[in-house]
Amino acid sequence: MPKSTRAIKVTDKDKAWNRKAQPSKYRIETIPQNKTFLITCEGQTEELYIKSFPVLGARVKVINLQGQSKLKLVETTTELLCNFPEKYDEVWCVFDMDVKRGEDEFADFDNAIDKAIQNGYKVAYSNDAFELWFYLHYNHSETQELRTFYYEELGNKFNINYIRDGKKYDFCQKIYTLLEKDALACQKKAIQRAKKLFDIQQHLPYHQRNPVTLVYELVMELNNNLRR
């Protein structure tokens, strides 16, 4: 027997419960596909800065492997992937040149990058320091500098003693926001400047590329998944 239907009184046809749903006139935020990232790094600054990106559709797992050599960081990344049940669309290793600059450190830096690439990972390496990426938000420079130069410059920009306070947890947590809100800082220009530095030095061995930072490539990828 066909299902009986209830008659609607003429006086009730415009009541809320009898109206058909209409398409919303408001724009609904679209969520990109759930891309997954595993990002290993060697310090608190890198970890907290990356975690500050307001990604919406991606799942980003950031692991701080501080205290390891560059090559060991890459090897540990491989071990983590073997032990994690989930698979990742992209794997990134983030590190910079050692404070001590000798043949052993240069070899470790170069070998780590080669090993990561062989394993199919992407590498956001910096030489001399990760802070070069922050500095490029304000200025372009093709001069080789030690990290103390960037610490001093950023200390002046942020009005802090960067050597003393720039690595503290509370400050590292807000670097992304500070750069976003500072009218003098520009991430778009930082990307352009970093790409230019890479382009003019990519023919050199990794450890001789200075100043250089491929953090811009990771930032561009994260930006593709930002909350709009």
pLDDT tens profile 200-220: 999 999 999 999 999 999 999
Band of pLDDT at residue 24, cut at 50, 70 and 90: very low
Higher pLDDT pick, 164 / 16: 164
- Locus of tokens 């800082």: 185
156 residue type, one letter = N
What's the number of domains the chain is made of? Answer: 1
Residue 11, in any domain of the structure: no
Cα separation of 130 and 192, whole Å? 16
State the residue range of the domain holding 111. 31-223
Question: For residue range 141-188, what is the model confidence (pLDDT) as tens digits?
Answer: 999 999 999 999 999 999 999 999 999 999 999 999 999 999 999 999
In this structure, is residue 118 part of a structural domain? yes
Q: Token pair for residue 33? A: 């596909």
* Residue 45 predicted with pLDDT over 80: yes
Q: Is 67 left (phi over 0), alpha (psi -120 to 50) or beta?
A: left
**Percent of the chain beyond pLDDT 90?**
79
Of 123, 139, 69, nearest to 98 by C-alpha is: 69
Name the band, by pLDDT with cuts 50, 70 and 90, for residue 17: very low
Residue 212 lies in a domain: yes
188: its two tokens = 């778009």
Judge whether residue 26 has pLDDT over 50: no
Print burial letters for 55-64: b (CB count within 10 Å at least 16), e (below 16): beebebebeb
Examine residue 105 and state whether it is found in any structural domain, yes or no: yes
Residue 7 lies in a domain: no
Structure tokens at 174: 């807000």
In a domain, 10, yes or no: no
Query: What is the pLDDT, as a whole number, of residue 12?
Result: 54
Note whether residue 182 is domain-resident. Answer: yes
CA distance from start to end of the chain: 52
Q: Would 123 be classed as within a structural domain?
A: yes
Outline where 56-123 has alpha helix (H).
70-83, 103-118
